[in-house]
């Protein structure tokens, strides 16, 4: 009888196959800033009478919003009636704003019965980085002759939860290399979307034969992608070699003629 009188209700975590009693801390949910998640509970009226239950929530941060929903058909979702031996399902929706700082937050759910009995349970939320910018699709290596050009594409992906603004493709090429990218600036990239940036690179005729590492990345107002590396193997152009050989032959011929004229005097 004592245990029965003491038992007012139980809160269960109903998101998994196994029920979790309310005096346990609910496992942490992971979301990106700007996203939301839901926690599911059951309030069980184990008394012999019907009771009205009121729910209050405590948000861990002003940028995290909490909304309570109930399966009971009531006008006020935070105050609802449960008959004796029945249960009410409660959904707590927790949402974060895009500017929510990255970190771990603990919120609270307080349930109070109309006879003054009350119970509390904690729930934990980890907010991850909302700005995630990735690149993919670029080749690892390109062969090119000096004085010629090559092109490649890079796919830019917004894998975060927030809008990105003013995206620019940055490539750290040697001096005198000419870089042309299209689009030059991308005004915005929505979460989950991607865009292909097309790039042309002109290698100057004066470039010596070399194997050149060319780093690249994407910058925007909010974040920077990780750096990728394109390996470019530059060889002297056959046309350049022919021209150089022709100049050499002409120089030798001119020298011979010069000394022949000198010798005749």
pLDDT tens digit sequence for 212-257:
999 999 999 989 999 999 999 999 866 655 666 666 666 666 666 6
Length of the chain: 265
Confidence of residue 5 (pLDDT cuts 50, 70, 90): very low
> If we measure between CA atoms, which residue out of 136, 192, 183, 135 comes closest to residue 163?
192
Please, what is the average pLDDT of the chain?
A: 80
Residues above pLDDT 90, as percent of the chain: 34
- CATH number of the domain at 61, please: 2.60.40.10
Is the per-residue pLDDT at 182 higher than 50? yes
Counted domains in the chain: 2
Is the per-residue pLDDT at 197 higher than 80? yes
pLDDT tens digit sequence for 90-136:
888 888 887 788 888 888 888 888 888 888 888 888 888 888 899 99
Which of 153 and 116 is assigned the larger pLDDT? 153
Q: Is residue 117 part of a domain?
A: yes
Q: Is residue 19 part of a domain?
A: yes
Both tokens of 106, joined, read: 């603990």
Rg (CA), the chain: 35
**Could you give the CA distance from residue 197 to residue 224 in angstroms, rounded to a whole number?**
16
Q: Could you write out the DSSP letters of every residue in 146-176?
A: TT-EEEEEEEEEE-SSS-EEEEEEEE-PPTT
Give the number of other Cβ atoms within 10 Å of residue 230's Cβ: 22
pTM of the model: 0.53
End of a domain among 73, 93, 128?
128
pLDDT value at position 27?
Answer: 61
């Amino acid at each position: 009888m004592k245990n029965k009188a003491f038992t007012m209700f139980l809160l269960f975590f109903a998101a998994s196959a196994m029920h979790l009693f309310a005096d346990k801390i609910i496992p942490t949910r992971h979301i990106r800033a700007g996203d939301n998640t839901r926690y599911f509970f059951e309030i069980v009226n184990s008394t012999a009478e019907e009771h009205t239950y009121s729910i209050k929530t405590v948000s861990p941060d002003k940028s995290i919003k909490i909304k309570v929903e109930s399966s009971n058909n009531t006008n006020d979702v935070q105050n609802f009636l449960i008959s004796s031996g029945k249960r009410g399902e409660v959904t707590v929706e927790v949402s974060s704003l895009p500017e929510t700082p990255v970190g771990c937050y603990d919120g609270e759910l307080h349930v109070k019965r109309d006879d003054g009995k009350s119970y509390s349970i904690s729930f934990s939320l980890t907010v991850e980085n909302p700005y995630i910018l990735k690149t993919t699709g670029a080749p690892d290596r390109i062969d090119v002759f000096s004085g010629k050009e090559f092109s490649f594409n890079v796919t830019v992906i917004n894998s975060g939860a927030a809008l990105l603004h003013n995206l620019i493709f940055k490539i750290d090429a040697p001096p005198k290399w000419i870089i042309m990218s299209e689009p030059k600036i991308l005004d915005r990239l929505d979460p989950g979307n991607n865009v292909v940036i097309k790039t042309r690179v002109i290698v100057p005729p004066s470039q010596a034969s070399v194997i050149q590492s060319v780093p690249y990345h994407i910058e925007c107002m909010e974040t920077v992608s990780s750096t990728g590396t394109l390996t470019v193997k530059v060889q002297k152009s056959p046309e350049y070699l022919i021209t150089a050989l022709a100049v050499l032959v002409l120089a030798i011929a001119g020298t011979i003629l010069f000394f022949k004229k000198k010798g005749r005097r």
